[in-house]
Structures are given as structure tokens and as C-alpha cells.
Amino acid sequence: MACESSSVKPAFFLSLLCFLLGTASAQLSSTFYSSSCPSVLSTIKSAVSSAVSSEARMGASLLRLHFHDCFVNGCDASILLDDTANFTGEKNAGPNANSVRGYDVIDTIKSQLESKCPGVVSCADIVAVAARDSVVALGGASWNVLLGRRDSTTASQSAANSNIPAPTLSLSGLISAFSNKGFTAKEMVALSGSHTIGQARCTTFRTRLYNENNINATFATSLKANCPSSGGDNNLSPLDTTSPTSFDNAYFKNLQTQKGLLHSDQQLFGGGSTDAQVNAYSSNVATFRTDFANAMVKMGNLSPLTGSNGQIRKNCRKVN
């Protein structure tokens, strides 16, 4: 829509409309809960630190929970909703079933916040802050999480199946999937760096392991014992074998030596348009940290529900 008009009154209202449409995140603020729930950030940080200390992998799980939430109709905590008679939720969608974790940690945080500030803090904001705190707990960069998201009253399994990028995507497919959400190829590469932590199931990389040639032979052999050609679908391997619980730039260095675990990982490096970005992050961890943090802020701003839209769930698993 063209934001211009020749007459004064229509021009004013058109400009106002364009401003409102173009600033979905304008209603989000880093100080949203400063008076209504001043302990929100410390409460979330403490719970995340405890969870990650108990199991380092949980940091990656909470980060991924935020990503899988935001890429499906925006950052609205729809991923947390259990199935109901009215809708089939996202938990059992292909990319999430037997895979997405961290629901219990979010429940714990929500329970603590409901005790301190009943009906104030949204599940969507908890997920967004927990993702940031998880990265920090594993040595990554911090960023200011804008707050004020509200929670959805529905979920969509079909949207989850169609919007979350698959590990089988080609480079062009990855660029397209992220472009659909407003991200540049550079931002896609930065966000892919989240695979410097966490683990993947054998079923997601078996085809790469046994059928692809752009994989380090020694690396492949080391993985096959835990990921046989048939069976062992849920056996886990780290996405970054070098430092799987440290949020660093080793993921990109692994790609340079054909040690990307997923097909989609190695697509980022192999003669394509993103090689230079992988090289840049491999040689300069500070650049990666900065770009990743900026991209995470942008992701957290995907189509939030604000104002009177949505609700503040009392229980993150069900609508009020």
C-alpha cells in the first residue's frame, strides 16, 4: 500500500495507519513490566540458570522453543497450547513432536510469576526472555528483549508444519523460508549459528550421513555407530561436536571442514552465496555475537499480539 495522499486529512489518517501497520513492535518495550512485575527478569533468569545448570542441553531447547513459536503466526506462545476439541495444537506437528522440549521449565517460571504478579506476565514474553537467558548461560551474547507480547487463544498444527524450516532444505530453500519472515540471508546464517549448541536426532541427519558426499569421512564414521542406517531414530548427536554446550563460533568452523551435522547446516558452506558469511563468523566471533543478538531481537518482534489482542494465560498450556 502506498503511504501518500494529496489531501491533508486523508493524508494524516493514512500516515497514521501506515505508522501503526509498520511498527508492530512499537508497543513492545524493555521496561513493560517495570512497575507491574519488577521481579520478572530476575525470576526468569534464576529459573533458566538452574535448568541449564542441571542440563546444559536445556539452553538449546529453550532457544529452539522461541524460534519454533515465532515462526508460526508470530511470537504468541501458541506452541505451548495443548490440543483441545476446538483446535489441534503445534506440539505434535512434524518439526515439534518428540523433539521440542522445555515446556516444564516454562511452566515452572509461569507458576513463580503467577505467585508474584498474578495475570500480568505473558507466556510469550517468558519464552522470549528464557531464550535470551539460555544463550547467556551458555556463554553467548546478551540482548535487550522487548516485552509486552500477549498470548494467543489458538494454535495451528498445519502452520507449524509449513512454516518451520526443515533440516532437509537446500540453501535456496533456507533463504526463502527466512525471507518469508523478513530475514536477510545474512541474518539466516547468523540465526543458524544457534546450532553451536544443542543436539539432533538420528532421523534428522541419517540421509546426510549415508547418502551425501560433502561430509568429512572421519566425522561421518564417528556418527554412524550412534546412528545406524535403520533404527535408533531418537539417538542424539551434538550439532556442534567441538563445543556442544558453549555458545561460540565453532559451528561455522565445523562447516568449513564439512562437519555440519544436518543437510541444512552444510548447505551454508559449499560454494554457495553464504560461504563468505560463514568465513566471516568463523574468523570473528564478535561479529557473530553481534549479528546473532540483533537477529534475535528482530525474531522476537515477529507479529506480536499487543494491546487488547490475545490474553495473558494463567496456565501456558491452555487458554483462560
Which residues are designated catalytic?
Answer: 68
* Helix residue ranges, H only, 166-300: 171-179, 185-192, 202-211, 217-224, 250-256, 263-266, 275-283, 285-300
Question: Partners of 245 in the beta sheet?
Answer: 197
163 residue type, one letter: N
H or E element, residue 123: helix 123-137
What are φ and ψ of residue 200, in 5° steps?
Answer: -125, 150
- Please give the Cα distance from 193 to 269 (Å, whole number): 13
User: Rg of the Cα trace of the chain?
Assistant: 20
End-to-end CA distance of the chain: 36
- Please give the Cα distance from 155 to 149 (Å, whole number): 16
DSSP of 271-308, one letter per residue?
SSTTHHHHHHHHH-HHHHHHHHHHHHHHHHTSS-B-TT
Q: Supply 310's cell numbers.
A: 490475545
Contact 138, 95 (CB under 8 A): no
What are φ and ψ of residue 163, in 5° steps?
Answer: -105, -25
Q: Supply 42's cell numbers.
A: 530476575
Alpha carbon 207 to chain centroid distance? 24
Alpha carbon 299 to chain centroid distance? 8
Contact 259, 239 (CB under 8 A): no
Q: How far is CA 297 from CA 10, 143, 238, 270, in A?
A: 34, 7, 26, 29
